[in-house]
A and B are shown apart, each in its own frame.
Chain A
Amino acid sequence: MAYPKSYRYTKEHEWIEVKGDLATIGITDHAQHELGDVVFVELPKPGAKIEAGKSFGTVESVKAVSEIYAPASGEVIEINGELQNKPETINNDPHGAAWLIKVRLTNAKGISDLMDAPAYEAYIAEKGKETSA
């Protein structure tokens, strides 16, 4: 699956798309692959504050629980309620329909330091080599 050029990516496998002071956040295709069948998603409530680098929710597959870390700081303005009934959307469309939260950024600093798509693809390719070594 292609990694959208307009997104930025974290080492913990979240993506963020920034438009002005608004941002959409999700987990990457690589992350959903590693997790396997997603069966449960826990997200903060609108109005909650998230802080860059801190966990704001969890995604669970049958076999594992995975924390989701905020790529940036901000206030949650909307959550993807569809995921509660259809968590498998995260496996099917992680970069699109399975966005997790929308936030109003309080501090855009640091976002430009996140990986762009080619850098992230190189990062996961390198990780893949490590695990198969």
Chain B
Amino acid sequence: MVNFGGWDMPVEYPSSGGLIVEHKAVRGSVGVFDVSHMGDIRIRSGKKPGGALAAVQHITMNDASKLAIGQAQYSAMLYPQGTFVDDLIVHRLGEDDYLLVINAGTREKDIYWVRENTKAFDCVVEELSDAYTQLAIQGPRAAEVVQKLTDADLSGVKNYWFTHGTVCALKNTLIARTGYTGEDGFEIYVPSDEPTSEKVWNQVMEAGRGFGIVPCGLGARNTLRLESKMALYGHEISDKINVWEAGLDRYCKLEKGNFIGRGALERAKAAGVTRTLVGLEMIDRGIARDEYSCCNEAGEKIGVVTSGSPSPTLGKNIALVYVPPAYSALGTILYVEIRGQKYKAQVVATPFYKRQKKAAAPRLA
């Protein structure tokens, strides 16, 4: 167990067979993660309609006005400098009702940030982090597993949409087609009391038994998201890194109107980036790890690894690293310094892994 943002969490489950088994289960079939550490903030309009949307638009960079009820979007909260307070998922629960799902490690900071910066808006901010146990059921067979547990028709729920249904006899449960693995999958939000949480966990395991479901820990969560080049706060994104550097342009809508960080981002865009996030694949035998230095062929330090690990899917050692744009072309040879020695690597296309999108609707058991 490790301490993760104040939560006692397993890196891997020995009963599953360990990290690699867990990782491969999610890529090949299905795995379940207890992600109750994620924080939840609900923002509703006050007396008049529109207050919640205005508040969400002000504190996040994506365009929440584009969300239909039942739809979610990846977004982020920014500092006035255009760097990250946190990344998050915005769900539009109702006409004037939004749910922001945030990271555990930044929870207190986020809550404070949301409260401080929504004061001018006619809205009600409520922290619900402790109210939910959140389970992520992820993998190509996840839809079949979750469908066994609910009366809601999941075939109609597209990626980054959600629905409410009875799950394990719990009425009105939020079932979102979201995740942090690069696979298809769902995240469900159930009451956090222990008997309910345990019951739901056991029923998910039971429903997934025929698919070889395994519990997955933080280790597999990290390798899965890294292969899919999904950002991790404190690594690829932080209060020192801006949106353009992180390559999250498509989730940042300058044209939507003013929001915190927009001015700085406009200036940064005009000035151009001095570093950009690239994917590396090791050529020499060596594993790049977080915070290792990255050098050019002349041996000059040009960047730092933000996340590095063996990739269980690819059987290669991969890393994400910020480098000056001059070194970002695919095929560029770079070196990672590992225990005082330089190991050769090359810039490769990202994400390192991309799932095959199925044309047909998922088969449902």
Contacts and interface: CB of A to CB of B under 8 A. Distances in A.
Nearest to A91: B18
Contacts of A36: 11-12, 18-19, 219
A37 B289 contact: no
Interface stretch (A58-66, A68-76, A98-106, A111-119): A58-66
A65 B287 CA distance: 9
Interface string B276-315: 0000000001110100000000000000000001101000
A6 interface: no
A62 B1 contact: no
Interface in A68-124: 84
A39 interface: yes
B12 A39 contact: no
A7 interface: no
A37 B223 CA distance: 13
Given A36-B219, A131-B1, A63 B285 contact: no
Interface string A34-59: 00110110100000000000000010
A39 B315 CA distance: 10
Contacts of B222: 63
Nearest to B1: A131
Interface string A6-39: 0000000000000000000000000001001101
B346 to A, nearest CB: 19
Contacts of A42: 339
A60 B292 CA distance: 15
B287 A60 contact: yes
Interface residues of B, number: 19
Nearest to A65: B289
Contacts of A40: 285-287, 310
Most buried by B among A36, A40, A63, A84: A63
Contacts of A131: 1
Contact of A62 (B14, B19, B286, B339): B19
Nearest to A55: B339
A62 B219 contact: yes
Contact of B339 (A39, A58, A63): A58
Contacts of B260: none
A22 B12 CA distance: 38
Given A62-B23, A62-B310, 14 more contacts: A33-B14, A36-B12, A36-B18, A36-B19, A37-B19, A39-B310, A58-B339, A60-B310, A62-B20, A62-B219, A62-B312, A63-B12, A63-B219, A63-B222
Interface of A: 33, 36-37, 39-40, 42, 58, 60-63, 65, 84, 131
20 contacts: A33-B14, A36-B18, A36-B19, A37-B19, A37-B20, A39-B287, A39-B310, A40-B287, A42-B339, A58-B339, A60-B287, A60-B310, A62-B20, A62-B219, A62-B310, A62-B312, A63-B219, A63-B222, A63-B309, A65-B287
Interface of B: 1, 11-12, 14, 18-20, 23, 219, 222-223, 285-287, 289, 309-310, 312, 339
